Amino acid sequence: MQIGFLGLGNMGAAMARNLLKAGHTVQVWNRSPASRETLAKDGAQACDTPQALAGAEVIVSMLADDAAVRESVVDSGLLAALPQGTVHVNMATVSVAFARELAAQHAARGVGYVAAPVMGRPDMAAAAKLNIIAAGKADDLARVQPVLDALGVKTWMFGEAPEQANAIKLAVNFCLASAVGTMGEASAFVQGHGLAPADFIELITSTVFAAPVYQGYGGLIAREQYAPGGFKLALGLKDVGLALAAGEAVRVPMPLASTLRDGLLEGVAQGDGDLDLAALARVSARRAGRG
């Protein structure tokens, strides 16, 4: 299959390589020419503009946020250049409102649109072990399933309205950030009582919270290993903010999310935005006078 891929960050570059490994023909674009040229060495065709991808059967985008997707897909002229019957798979974590807008814009041009945000950090992307949350028309989903199969271990289907996949992803990231924030506060608490946070983390991740999110992020907290940021604190702030906006749109109060957003904003304000989400523990430590 001929695939056009936009966005070659920590996640996107690994995903594009896995599509090449699966035997697909891949054209790539990224704002950074260096990233494009690196993928070209692996067998991809580097393109100078997003519009140059318009001949692909399937377009895959893995970009940072609403603004990046709008700029690269819509404002660039790529969407307008796509022939009818092309399918765009947007794997970014974007707002529910923007996902709905994109679906309408694609439908107006006869272009398929699938929302397929992912669960997993860069190491899981490299290993093609992502969990993929997908929503869109059944025919479009069936057409792009070979692409998704090359990127993850399972595709979780959530209806025909693409924005529903984004709602699920925002709910997941809210839960994830809540877990990390809780471990951060609890670590500061036990440290205040003269105990080692690393010992506490080992206990809970071996017993009551023996699950990947707690073990992975808990290990980062225990080691105070916040750089490089696999999932940056600033992106956590963005996602929790999007979850709050989506909750307000359907009149669902989210008081825990509001508190969590304040902590994330505090971390970003203190200069930790490029650190890993696990750096929420630094926010708690500073609040306790130990940062």
Question: 41, 129, 154, 169: which is the annotated catalytic residue?
Answer: 169
**Both tokens of residue 186?**
């609890």
169 catalytic, yes or no?
Answer: yes
CB 118 within 8 A of CB 125: yes
DSSP 8-state class, residue 31:
S
CA of 163: how far to CAs of 34, 97, 98, 99, 117, in Å?
Answer: 33, 7, 8, 5, 10
In our burial notation (b when 16+ CB lie closer than 10 A, e otherwise), range 167-178 reads: bbbbbbbbebbb
CA of 205: how far to CAs of 88, 116, 214, 222, 283, in Å?
Answer: 39, 30, 6, 11, 21
Q: How far apart are CA 244 and CA 240, in angstroms?
A: 6
DSSP 8-state class, residue 83:
P
Q: How far apart are CA 287 and CA 69, in angstroms?
A: 36
**Both tokens of residue 213?**
């999110």
CB 278 within 8 A of CB 221: yes
CB 274 within 8 A of CB 192: no
Give the residue numbers marked as catalytic. 169
